[in-house]
Amino acid sequence: MKEKDSEILSIDSLAIGYRSGNRQNILLPPITASAGRSELVAVLGRNGIGKSTLLRTIIGLQTSLGGKIMINGESLAEIPRLELARKIGYISTEIIRVSNMTVYNLISLGRFPHTNWIGSIDPESRDAIDTAILKAGMGSFADRYISELSDGERQRAMIARVLAQDTDIMVMDEPLAFLDLPGKYEIADLLYNLSRAGKTIIFSTHDINIAIKLADRVWLVQKEQLVEGAPEELVENGSFDSMFESPAFLTGPFSGSSVRDYLKNFL
């Protein structure tokens, strides 16, 4: 974790959840967390705890029910939609299924906040798209149709789309899900390299080993509170223990070994 002044995103007592009529359904206690420039931030937590809702709130797709999100010192609530799209990009778990759409078409949609009224691709956008394709390692299949891509290739295409969007921050909901083992590590490696090249990447995952190995910062989402810290800190102070509170670890083949010892293998 880097010092405070390089923070690009800071979240202060944020309440996330859903509003129906006058009733509010707040999912988690007030969240306070931050992300530094060029950091890789892993969001960990059990299924259904509210990771996706948190990420959707950060990119402004869902309104917060209280608290504050600051991007580069500006309040998210006051940034217009189109301008926000130039600062922060998003990949959800939703798979895009459109026939006759080429990888190039998909990636060029990332230029949406930069193009004119009809969306024509000017030389600047063309350069941005070509660079995104190269960075995401997509050069060999930019002209294929997205319906023909494998899961790993599709994830690369989605990443290239966000790269073309040319934002400082990339938010990804489980980018490693649905991938086979090598695929997982290839995408994780790509995310790591992109963060080293200057992107701030916030991604949720269940691959705790990858998160511990690669992430600069972990947001551990728990029922009682969100714990934030460098992975080695959280391993040492036992914050991860709560993730292994399951009957499966008490008896049977998975019981016995200490969680902390297990996690230390990845440091």
Partner 1 sequence: MKTTEPIKPSGFTGRNNTLIFAIMGLLLAVVFILDLFLGSVSIRAIDVAKAIFGDSGSDFETIVMKFRLPKAVTALFVGIALSLSGLQMQTFFRNPLAGPYVLGVSSGASMGVAIVILGFSSSLTVVNLQGLGNWLLVMSAWVGAGMVMLLIMFISSRVRDIMTILILGIMLASGISAIVSIMQYFSSETMLKAYVIWTMGSLGNLSSGQLNVLVICVSAGILLSISSIKMLNALLIGENYAGSIGLNIRLSRTVIFAGTSILAGSVTAFCGPVGFIGIAVPHIVRNIFRTSDHTILVPGSILTGGIVMIASDIVSQLPGSESVLPINSVTSLIGIPVVIWVILRNRRNSVSF
Binding residues for partner 1, per CB under 8 A? 59-61, 81-86, 89-90, 92, 94, 96-102, 104-106, 108-110, 112-113, 115, 117-121, 126, 129-130, 133-134, 137-140, 142-143, 147, 165, 186
Q: How far is the CB of 90 from partner 1 (least distance, A)?
A: 4
Length of the chain: 267
Closest to partner 1 by CB, 193 vs 225, is 193
Other beta carbons within 10 angstroms of residue 119's beta carbon come to 12
**How far apart are the two ends of the chain, measured CA to CA in Å?**
15
> Crossing angle, helix 151-165 and helix 181-196, to 10 degrees?
10
Closest to partner 1 by CB, 118 vs 181, is 118
Q: How far is the CB of 41 from partner 1 (least distance, A)?
A: 18
Contact 160, 138 (CB under 8 A): yes
Q: How far is the CB of 65 from partner 1 (least distance, A)?
A: 19
Q: How far is the CB of 185 from partner 1 (least distance, A)?
A: 11
Closest to partner 1 by CB, 61 vs 267, is 61
Closest to partner 1 by CB, 144 vs 260, is 144
Give the DSSP letter of residue 73: T
Contact 148, 103 (CB under 8 A): no
Q: How far apart are CA 145 and CA 100, in angstroms?
A: 6
